[in-house]
Amino acid sequence: MSNELSTGDVAPAVDLTAHDGSTVTIGGMHDQDSVVYFFPKAFTPGCTTEACDFRDNLSSLPAKVYGVSGDSPEELARFVEEYDLAFTLLSDPDHAAAKQWGAWGERTINGETSEGPLRSTFVIDAAGTVARAEYNVNAEGHVAQLASELNSQ
């Protein structure tokens, strides 16, 4: 994972298609802080847990939330509807954004090692700078911890 981002790095600006068909730029300058999280696949147990944790903690996060996966915009739209997610999910079908953000690499699942998406979470300030980068996060519990830490700053 030579592309891992660190605190103080400029977040790569990448245009992605949202679940509603619009184009959204992650990274770069925005009018507020953002949380960008990369997840492996919609509707899988860990990813559903993580998305619902973001949904349930959304009001306590002082930032706009974006979830990114390799799923199609249509699949992400079904995921948003099924779990009543009130934030934007973005499609990264060729994993270009995941690779630029260091959220793609070697992982082991059920004893099998392969390359794939790494569950990662980033806090990007309004100037487009990485304020926090977390790789290989746990699907369960990290959102509440993130919200607590962001609100105590």
Q: What is the pLDDT of residues 92-141, one digit of tens each?
A: 999 999 999 999 998 877 788 889 899 999 999 999 999 999 999 988 88
Output the pTM of the full model. Answer: 0.93
Amino acid 3: pLDDT: 86
> 51 exposed, middle or buried (CB, 10 Å; 0-12, 13-18, 19+)?
buried
Give residue 1's pLDDT band: very low, low, confident or very high (50, 70, 90): very low
CA–CA distance, 101 with 83 (Å, rounded to integer): 26
pLDDT computed for residue 64 by the predictor: 92
- The predicted model gives 3-28 an average pLDDT of 95
Length of the chain: 153
Residue 61 has what pLDDT?
77
Over 50: is that where the pLDDT of 4 sits?
yes
* 52 is annotated as an active-site residue: no
The catalytic residue among 47, 68, 76, 130 is 47
8 A C-beta contact, residue 51 and residue 147: no
Give the E-state strand segments of the chain in sequence order. Answer: 14-18, 23-26, 34-38, 64-69, 88-91, 104-109, 112-117, 120-124, 130-135
| pLDDT at residue number 58 | 76
Q: What is the second-level CATH architecture of the domain 14-151? A: 3-Layer(aba) Sandwich (3.40)
